[in-house]
Every structure is written in C-alpha cells, then in structure tokens.
Amino acid sequence: MDKIILRGGNRLEGEVRISGAKNAALPLLAASLLAENPMYFTNVPHLRDVTTTIELLGQLGARVIIGERMSVEVDATDITSLRAPYELVKTMRASILVLGPLLARYGEAEVSLPGGCAIGTRPVNLHLKGLEAMGAEIEVEEGYIKARAPRLKGTRFFFDQASVTGTENLMMAATMAEGVTVLENAAREPEVSDLAECLNRMGASISGIGTDELVIEGVDRLDGVEHAILPDRIEAGTYIAAAAVTRGDVTLQGARPGHVEAVIDKLREMGAEITLGGDWIRARMDRRPIAANLRTQPYPGFPTDMQAQLMVLDVLAAGGATVTETVFENRFMHVQELQRMGAEIELSGNTAFVRGVGGLTGAPVMATDLRASASLVLAGLVAEGESAVERIYHIDRGYERIEEKLALLGADVRRVPA
C-alpha cells in the first residue's frame, strides 16, 4: 500500500486549484439513473470514490464515457440490473445513493447494506424509514436491502437526525413519486442544494432549496442535462489549514468562499489572515496559532469533515482548546497518531482536550479514514524530520493528487509505492 513521506518545515506558498467535490459528484452520478437520456458532468474530480461510483453505474447497465479533463457522460436509458453488489458497496458506503433513484424510476432495487466504517456505525435507518413512509416495501435479507415500490407516494417525513445522504436519497426518490413530499429537518449542505438545483434543471419540482424543509412535487420524467461539479469545500478548508499550519501564503483558485464560512471564521480566530474573492481565497499566517475551541455541527456550522484538520492547529497553538465531535461517534482516530508525533491530547467521550505544544516530531503514522489522513499530512508538513503516512489509499478517496498539489506549493513530500 502506498505511503506519503513528508519532511516538515517548509512554508507553503503559491496557488492551488480546488477540484470538484467528491460529496457533490457521488449523488449527482446517482441522479443520472433518474434521467431518460444522457447526463453530462464537467469538473469531475479524479478520485477513487468517483471511479467506484462509475463502476457501480456500469454494473447496473448504464453506459459511462469518461472524456478529457475528467468530463463524464452517463447514459442510463436502459438499465440491465437493479442490484448494487456487496463487493462495491463495501468499499464505498455512498453507494446507498442508488437506492432512491432506482426505486423511483424502476420500482425496485437491491442494495447491499453498507458496513460501518472507522468513524462510526453509520446506519442507514433514516434512508429506509423515509422510503417506507413513501410506500416502499423494504426487507433486509442476507446483508441486502431489498426494496419494492410500484409507485412511491408523496409524504411528510421528519429526519430526527440531519442526514446528508439521507436527504439526498429521499429527495431523489421523491422527484418521481405521486404527489408532494415534504422533508423536514433536511440537511442544508451545499452539495444537497447543488443536487436539488440539478434535479430541477432535469425537470423536477423542488422548493425550499437551502433550507431545512424541502418540498418536492413528483413529476413523470426527468431528462439528462449538463452539470458542473461544485468545488470541494472540504479540500479548500484543508489547503487553508495547510497554509496556516506552515505559516505560509496560499491562494486557492476555483473555490466558493460562501461554502467555507465557518472554517474561515475559525481560522481567523486562530490568527490566520484570510482575504476572499468571487472564486478565490487567500490564506496567510505568520504566527503560532491561537488556540480555539471547535464544535462540529451540520451545515452551516463548523463541518465534521474539517475537525481532524483544524485539530492540528490547536495541537500547535499557544494555550489549550476543546474539540467536540457531535456528528459521528468515533471520529478521533487521528488523535493517537498525532500523539505519536508529540501532540498532547486527552479524550473524554466526544470531546478532545488539546494542550498546545511548541512543535511536533516526525514519525511513521497510520491513516485510518479520509479526513484523519489529511490531518496527519498537515502534521507532517510541520513536524521536525521525516513523517511517513501509511495506508494512503484513504486519502485518495477524497483528495485529488494531494502530494502533487502540496509539492507545487513548496512542501517536501513524495508518494512511495509500497
């Protein structure tokens, strides 16, 4: 398995282009299954999870053409299978996103139950409860979700916990249900709104976009459209954090400042100087970070996907801070690895108590999940000596060419095939 070797101490300087968002691309690719004719996506990030989703669409019988610069055309006009197999779903939980579209368009679907993952059990009970509320008959047998619904019916459904892919799945299912569906306590992440905008351009009738109450009036058919994938706000947040932690000066091109407000506010609190333009963000830092408490929340609050990365700044800050993870039950897997580099962190339930240290020392560390890997790379950028981040396939799921982008900014980093 590949690993990334870093030698700390270089300031990051220069420009980096932000890629399309993994968490926008995955639901949009699934939405292709709703369209009577081809969908055409641009700015698609070249990531493992995107490749896995394309493979899954292919297995369902869709014709997928990958063009130059990772444009992707999906023609799902004649699907030959309604089954998403365990072999694929086990590598990517977001495969569950084909369930809603297949049910809506074909009246049945068989999707392997996604397993848990490092950050938590990650049940899909809300997805299933919502589809049952829309009239689907759902059984779980031999590890597969078997769903049937001759015609989904509109309903009012309350999410007792905000769920990003839960909202996306039910919204896609509702686009072709009979009557009106109201999703209450819906997720408001930008990727959810972007999916809704795309579905409306395909012929759906969704209102309340960007709010926590989505109203979807069912229609009989949806048509393929062209759609550009949203820039990745978590990748953007990660590079802003990389600029700050190395006391550098980095400009992100092709970013959406409005989607990273909570992260920008927190980094300014930590002492970073951040200036914004229409599609660029400049981050500078020339001091030791100021400790700041972090508490993850659903959007527009501080994102759980940025918790591990900003913890690294608290690890190096003057003072102490608390980091509270309210979304997932086990999203501190990076802590013990950071401790091996010299971080002083105590865990108690869903809170980490961080006491800032003056510096870190390089060490071989293990990536456990996507964002934990990113935090270990950030730590390696500043740790004294050499760090080796192993099992780097985790990071390839959500960061396009991370070692190339960091090297272009002046980092001493290289990928070593195992």
- Cα(415)–Cα(418) distance, integer angstroms: 9
Among 28, 33, 56, 124, binds ligand EPZ (CB under 6 A): 124
Residues catalogued as catalytic: 117
Residues 343 and 316: beta-carbon distance below 8 Å: no
Query: Before 300, cis peptide (omega within 30)?
Result: yes
Residues 100 and 183: beta-carbon distance below 8 Å: no
> Long-range contacts: 76-82, Cβ < 8 Å, 24+?
76/32, 76/33, 76/34, 76/35, 76/39, 77/35, 77/36, 77/37, 77/38, 79/33, 79/105, 79/106, 82/106, 82/108, 82/109, 82/110
332 near ligand EPZ, rule: CB under 6 A: no
3-state percent helix, strand, coil for the chain, nearest multiple of 5: 35, 25, 40
Q: Which H or E run contains 415?
A: strand 412-416
Between 160 and 189, how does the x/- string for binding to ligand EPZ read (CB under 6 A)? -x-xxxx--------------------x--
28 near ligand EPZ, rule: CB under 6 A: no
**Sequential DSSP letters for 73-130:** EEE-SS----EE-HHHHTT-GGGGGGHHHHHHHHSEEEEEPP--BTTB----HHHHHH
Between 199 and 238, how does the x/- string for binding to ligand EPZ read (CB under 6 A)? ----------------------------------------
120 near ligand EPZ, rule: CB under 6 A: yes
Closest to ligand EPZ by CB, 97 vs 317, is: 97
Please choose, from the candidates 250, 407, 225, 235, the residue with its C-alpha nearest in 3D space to the C-alpha of residue 305. Answer: 235
Closest to ligand EPZ by CB, 122 vs 284, is: 122
Among 60, 263, 327, 413, binds ligand EPZ (CB under 6 A): 327
Closest to ligand EPZ by CB, 322 vs 326, is: 326
Give, as one character, the DSSP assignment of residue 32: G
Closest to ligand EPZ by CB, 362 vs 398, is: 398
Closest to ligand EPZ by CB, 168 vs 403, is: 168
Question: What is the closest distance, in whole angstroms, from the C-beta atom of residue 187 to ligand EPZ in the complex?
Answer: 6
Between 289 and 318, how does the x/- string for binding to ligand EPZ read (CB under 6 A)? ---------------xx-------------
Q: Which two tokens stand for residue 61?
A: 């019988």
Helix, coil or strand: residue 336: helix
398 near ligand EPZ, rule: CB under 6 A: yes
81 near ligand EPZ, rule: CB under 6 A: no
Closest to ligand EPZ by CB, 238 vs 251, is: 238
Q: Which two tokens stand for residue 204?
A: 């759906």
Question: What is the closest distance, in whole angstroms, from the C-beta atom of residue 350 to ligand EPZ in the complex?
Answer: 11
370 near ligand EPZ, rule: CB under 6 A: yes
Among 3, 105, 127, 266, binds ligand EPZ (CB under 6 A): 127
Residues 121 and 327: beta-carbon distance below 8 Å: no
Q: What does the binding site for ligand EPZ look like in residue numbers (CB under 6 A)? A: 22-23, 26, 94, 120, 122-127, 161, 163-166, 187, 304-305, 327-328, 370-371, 398
